């Protein structure tokens, strides 16, 4: 016998976007029902952002033990307890988990049903024995690892980001298929924890990033011993547990463990979207700028909305939907101000247009300013001089920023704020920052924009000479 209930907002998916929307809408007085058939917190907490950064942190500690000679610290070979590093990963997840827990959300008035949801009509969703009618439905089911149909892959054991953090035995030689952010982060972390690592990429490693910036990262990974094979499409996989071979046009590569990190696929298979009249394809649900689908009652947020697949993008979508669904205010989503970062060492971060994109869009109206890390005093003091910043400027306003170097993920925030709020380069140049900090790289880049106008201008020089003559 089915139970029926009505709610103001039904949210399908308890990941970043769904939880942020549920919390905000409930706190503002809406009747909110949340469906989650798997783990509260979604991919980010359990399989993505949180565990990967925890493992990267373990790798950084191991790496530091062998790289202190320049600072007068005798390098030692770290004794890595791989299982203990994974225990650190689990403890980080467990520490954060209460913030995303069912108990917390029920405590603020959200009705939480631990079932998968599927549409049974344009206005009804079934979750277990419950049929729910909602004024508005928000699909926030996220994405999962995409495993390509490489011949032989089903005959060998392999890991994805959903399973690699459960591995307790240290890989002797980790083969990574995929040279994107997930693949490169995991490659460097495992190399620093004592594993031999080979990355196999069918095209160009970190190919979605600015090539100049990607080269900074890739050169450092190679210097640490990560083998990166590009333009090497995986054609076949063979072997067995502990002895797995990936066959490519550039040769065969054999390792003890295999990680597949070639991309993501949206989680829509269980939703029965056709029953709701919701148009979709392999990239996700088709939505307009209001995040509304072809069914006027159904919206999408996060990865499943078919755009940028970042946790903070899902959180941003939640904010847009709070304004429109809860407060009834006009709100549209955009992407021009959304930053992202890859947490390798050095880090790589981007917001807005890359140099190539900006040149295509703006042509000779574009000015590109640069500043290298090796001219920053804090970077020199800490031996973090690999890297640079590039800022793309049109009519005095930044339209994009690319940073490769230490703390790039933190530094990009200033440019994300500037682009989101339409600030001019003068706003960055006028900001006084503590000395010495890595953040001064941002200010120095802004200064580079104004330097030619001030120091190379004949008019400025004439004005200064006049002022110096007439002022007593």
CATH of residue 112's domain is 3.50.50.60
Q: Would you give the distance in Å from CA 373 to the centre of its chain?
A: 23
Residues β-bridged to residue 11: 34, 138
Cis omega before residue 261 (within 30°)?
no
* 185 annotated as a binding-site residue: yes
* 68 annotated as a binding-site residue: no
* 201 annotated as a binding-site residue: yes
In the listed set 263, 279, 310, which residue is the last one of a domain according to the structure? Answer: 263
If asked whether residues 438 and 406 sit together in one domain, one would say: yes
Could you tell me the two tokens for 317? 């979508």
Within a domain: 167: yes
If asked whether residues 122 and 158 sit together in one domain, one would say: no
CB atoms near residue 266 (< 10 Å): 24
H/E stretch holding 127: strand 124-127
If asked whether residues 258 and 295 sit together in one domain, one would say: no
Domains in the chain, number: 3
The reported pTM is: 0.94
If asked whether residues 131 and 273 sit together in one domain, one would say: yes
Within a domain: 157: yes
Task: Check residue 470 and give its pLDDT.
Answer: 87
Within a domain: 88: no
Within a domain: 73: no
If asked whether residues 388 and 248 sit together in one domain, one would say: no
- Which residues, 6 or more positions from 452, have their beta carbon under 8 angstroms from its beta carbon? none
* 263 annotated as a binding-site residue: yes
* 11 annotated as a binding-site residue: no
* 303 annotated as a binding-site residue: yes
Give the relative orientation of helices 458-470 and 440-455 as an angle to the nearest 10 degrees: 80
If asked whether residues 15 and 131 sit together in one domain, one would say: yes
Distance from C-alpha of 206 to C-alpha of 188, rounded to nearest angstrom:
14
Within a domain: 460: no
* 181 annotated as a binding-site residue: yes
If asked whether residues 118 and 12 sit together in one domain, one would say: yes
Could you tell me the two tokens for 400? 């994009």
Task: Check residue 457 and give its pLDDT.
Answer: 72
If asked whether residues 195 and 224 sit together in one domain, one would say: yes
Task: Check residue 455 and give its pLDDT.
Answer: 67
Within a domain: 61: no
Q: What is the pLDDT along the chain (472 residues), one digit of tens a residue?
A: 689 999 999 999 999 999 999 999 999 999 999 999 999 999 999 999 999 999 999 999 999 999 999 999 999 999 999 999 999 999 999 999 999 999 999 999 999 999 999 999 999 999 999 999 999 999 999 999 999 999 999 999 999 999 999 999 999 999 999 999 999 999 999 999 999 999 999 999 999 999 999 999 999 999 999 999 999 999 999 999 999 999 999 999 999 999 999 999 999 999 999 999 999 999 999 999 999 999 999 999 999 999 999 999 999 999 999 999 999 999 999 999 999 999 999 999 999 999 999 999 999 999 999 999 999 999 999 999 999 999 999 999 999 999 999 999 999 999 999 999 999 999 999 999 999 999 999 999 999 999 877 667 777 778 878 888 888 7
Q: In 3-state terms, what secondary structure has residue 341?
A: strand
CB atoms near residue 223 (< 10 Å): 9
CA angle (29 as vertex; 26, 30 as ends), nearest 5:
65
If asked whether residues 348 and 447 sit together in one domain, one would say: yes
Q: How far is CA 359 from CA 239, 366, 452, in A?
A: 47, 7, 20
Q: Domain of 179?
A: 153-263
In the listed set 214, 231, 263, which residue is the last one of a domain according to the structure? Answer: 263
If asked whether residues 280 and 132 sit together in one domain, one would say: yes
* 142 annotated as a binding-site residue: yes
* 392 annotated as a binding-site residue: no
Task: Check residue 195 and give its pLDDT.
Answer: 98
**CA torsion through residues 49, 54, 59, 64, sign:** positive
CA angle (208 as vertex; 264, 220 as ends), nearest 5:
105
In the listed set 244, 263, 282, which residue is the last one of a domain according to the structure? Answer: 263
* 141 annotated as a binding-site residue: yes
CATH of residue 394's domain is 3.30.390.30
Q: How many residues does the chain have?
A: 472
If asked whether residues 138 and 273 sit together in one domain, one would say: yes
Q: In 3-state terms, what secondary structure has residue 362?
A: helix
Distance from C-alpha of 104 to C-alpha of 98, rounded to nearest angstrom:
7
CB atoms near residue 222 (< 10 Å): 13
* 143 annotated as a binding-site residue: yes
Place of tokens 């459960």: 166
**CA torsion through residues 410, 412, 415, 420, sign:** negative
Best CA proximity match to 401, nearest among 438, 442, 350: 350
Distance from C-alpha of 48 to C-alpha of 304, rounded to nearest angstrom:
16
If asked whether residues 366 and 219 sit together in one domain, one would say: no
Within a domain: 55: no
* 182 annotated as a binding-site residue: yes
Within a domain: 212: yes
């Amino acid at each position: 016998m089915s139970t029926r209930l009505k709610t103001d907002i039904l949210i399908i998916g308890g990941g970043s976007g769904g939880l942020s929307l549920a919390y905000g809408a409930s706190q503002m007085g809406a009747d909110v029902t949340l469906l989650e058939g798997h783990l509260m917190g979604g991919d980010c907490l359990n399989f993505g952002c949180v565990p990967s950064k925890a493992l990267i942190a373990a790798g950084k500690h191991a790496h530091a033990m062998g790289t202190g000679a320049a600072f007068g610290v005798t390098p030692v070979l770290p004794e890595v307890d791989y299982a203990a590093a994974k225990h650190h990963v689990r403890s980080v997840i467990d520490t954060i988990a209460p913030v995303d827990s069912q108990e917390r959300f029920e405590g603020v008035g959200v009705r939480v049903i631990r079932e998968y949801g599927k549409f049974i009509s344009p206005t009804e969703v079934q979750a277990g024995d419950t049929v729910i009618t909602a004024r508005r439905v928000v699909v926030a089911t996220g994405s999962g690892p995409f495993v390509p149909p490489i011949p032989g892959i089903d005959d060998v054991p392999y890991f994805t980001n959903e399973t690699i953090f459960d591995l307790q035995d240290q890989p002797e030689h980790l083969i990574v298929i995929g040279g994107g952010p997930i693949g490169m982060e995991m490659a460097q972390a495992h190399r620093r924890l004592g594993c031999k690592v080979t990355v196999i990429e069918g095209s160009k490693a970190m190919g979605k990033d600015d090539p100049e910036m990607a080269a900074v990262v890739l050169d450092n990974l190679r210097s640490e011993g990560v083998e990166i094979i590009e333009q090497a499409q995986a054609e076949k996989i063979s072997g067995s547990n502990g002895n797995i071979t990936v066959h490519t046009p550039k040769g065969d590569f054999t390792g003890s463990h295999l990680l597949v990190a070639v991309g993501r696929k949206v989680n829509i298979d269980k939703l029965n979207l056709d029953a709701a009249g919701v148009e979709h394809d392999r990239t996700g649900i088709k939505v307009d700028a209001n995040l509304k689908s072809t069914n006027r009652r159904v919206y999408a947020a996060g990865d499943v909305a078919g755009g940028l697949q970042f946790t903070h993008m899902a959180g941003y979508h939640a904010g847009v939907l709070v304004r429109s669904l809860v407060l009834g205010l006009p709100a549209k989503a955009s992407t021009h101000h959304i930053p992202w970062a890859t947490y390798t060492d050095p880090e790589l971060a981007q917001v807005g247009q890359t140099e190539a994109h900006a040149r295509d869009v703006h042509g000779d109206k574009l000015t590109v300013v640069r500043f290298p890390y090796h001219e920053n005093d804090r970077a020199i003091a800490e031996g973090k001089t690999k890297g640079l910043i590039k800022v793309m400027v049109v009519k005095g306003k930044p339209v994009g920023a690319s940073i490769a170097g230490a703390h790039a993920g933190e530094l990009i925030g200033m440019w994300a704020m500037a682009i989101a709020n339409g600030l001019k380069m003068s706003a960055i140049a006028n900001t006084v920052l503590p000395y010495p900090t890595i953040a001064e790289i941002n200010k120095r880049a802004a200064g580079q924009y104004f330097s030619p106008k001030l120091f190379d201008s004949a008019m400025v020089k004439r004005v200064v000479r006049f002022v110096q003559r007439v002022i007593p």
